[in-house]
């Protein structure tokens, strides 16, 4: 298995390239010369393969995360300094903000400001939620990029510590099942077989970023693909989640299931230049094709391997 990041060459006829004929491809061929990761001043950095060959624990806020946090031993292992944790949306709240990486696709102001203020968390935010120029006069862009309000001052995501903007394409059309999240493409040099199509879903965004960062095993924790109105998330009984929101998200999960099945299959295939495996710490009823692992045992084995 090569450690190099394969980049597809530019072609005027992408439909003739096998890489563009899989479910990962699309005909809106990007300009591969565009940079991907940005800093607050508009400068670019190269973060490709930063975590070459490592395992990342991708953390959601589904009810199953309780299994990882209630057991004292498992929690202790999960918080070990050699374990790389990647939080999505509000997941860092229940992890005592002890995560290494974090992403969102909604405006960052929806989530706890402690995430944006924490310099130990690497924040990877879509460029349309970041903007190198936080003084953009268009009010709509300012609202999209607001991180939090500190007293009377507004702080924007691009000015938060250890935060990077990620170039993305967020297409406006609805999905085949008319889910109003639209489709999202990570606008960056293609890895694997090109670009995989994805709804504007933080999980697919985080998976693609994990590949770009070089991770070769992704362990899902608290990613349930099921939402209940009584308790939408772990430690959350917010009345903001009405029946429409719950049903909307459950419809999205059903639409994503076959897409994620194809992604898992291709990533695990021998033809894949990555051989990246996606597993889950708790059985996902909607996605039985994702292998289930014993979280405690997996953590113990990884820590032991890194302690040699």
Per mean pLDDT, which range of 31-45, 92-106, 128-142 is the poorest?
A: 128-142
Higher pLDDT, 14 or 38: 38
Tens of pLDDT, residues 217-266: 999 999 998 888 778 788 775 556 677 778 777 877 887 777 778 778 77
Higher pLDDT, 147 or 204: 147
| Cβ atoms within 10 Å, residue 266 | 18
47 Cβ partners below 8 Å, 6+ apart? 36, 37, 164, 212, 213
pTM, to two decimals: 0.80
Average pLDDT over residues 2-16: 39
The tokens describing 42, both together, are 């508009």
pLDDT reading at 5 higher than 80: no
Domain-located, residue 302: no
Domain-located, residue 305: no
Closest CA to 268 of 288, 284, 291: 291
Q: How many Å apart are CA 246 and CA 34, to the nearest integer?
A: 37
pLDDT reading at 292 higher than 90: yes
Domain-located, residue 270: yes
> Could you tell me if 14 and 178 are in contact, meaning their C-beta atoms sit under 8 angstroms apart?
no
Domain-located, residue 300: no
pLDDT reading at 55 higher than 60: yes
- 145 pLDDT band (50/70/90 cuts)? confident
- 58 pLDDT band (50/70/90 cuts)? very high
81 Cβ partners below 8 Å, 6+ apart? none
Domain that holds residue 22: 14-293
What is residue 69's three-state secondary structure? helix
Domain count, the chain: 1
């Amino acid at each position: 298995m090569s450690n190099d990041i394969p980049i597809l060459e530019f072609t005027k006829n992408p439909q003739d390239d096998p890489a563009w004929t899989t479910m990962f491809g699309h005909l809106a061929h990007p300009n591969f010369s565009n940079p991907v990761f940005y800093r607050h001043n508009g400068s670019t950095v190269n973060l490709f393969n930063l975590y070459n060959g490592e395992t990342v624990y991708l953390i959601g806020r589904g009810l199953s995360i309780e299994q990882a946090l209630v057991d004292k031993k498992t929690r202790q292992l999960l918080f070990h300094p050699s374990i790389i944790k990647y939080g999505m949306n509000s997941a860092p709240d229940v992890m005592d903000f002890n995560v290494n990486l974090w992403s969102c696709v909604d405006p960052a102001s929806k989530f706890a400001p402690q995430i944006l203020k924490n310099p130990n968390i690497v924040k990877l935010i879509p460029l349309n939620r970041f903007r190198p120029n936080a003084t953009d006069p268009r009010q709509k862009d300012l609202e999209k990029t607001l991180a939090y309000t500190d007293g009377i001052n507004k702080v924007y995501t691009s000015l938060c510590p250890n935060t990077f903007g990620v170039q993305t394409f967020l297409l406006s059309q609805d999905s085949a099942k008319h889910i109003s999240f639209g489709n999202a493409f990570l606008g960056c040099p293609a890895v694997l077989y090109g670009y995989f199509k994805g709804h504007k879903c933080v999980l697919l965004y985080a998976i693609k970023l994990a590949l770009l960062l070089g991770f070769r095993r992704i362990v899902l924790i608290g990613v349930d693909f099921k939402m209940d109105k009584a308790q939408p998330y772990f430690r959350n009984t917010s009345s903001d989640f009405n029946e429409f929101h719950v049903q909307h998200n459950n419809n999205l999960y059903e639409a994503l299931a076959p897409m994620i099945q194809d992604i898992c299959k291709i990533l695990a295939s021998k033809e894949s230049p990555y051989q990246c495996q996606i597993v889950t710490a708790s059985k996902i009823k909607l996605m039985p094709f994702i292998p289930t692992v014993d979280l405690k045992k997996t953590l113990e084995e990884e820590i032991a391997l890194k302690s040699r």
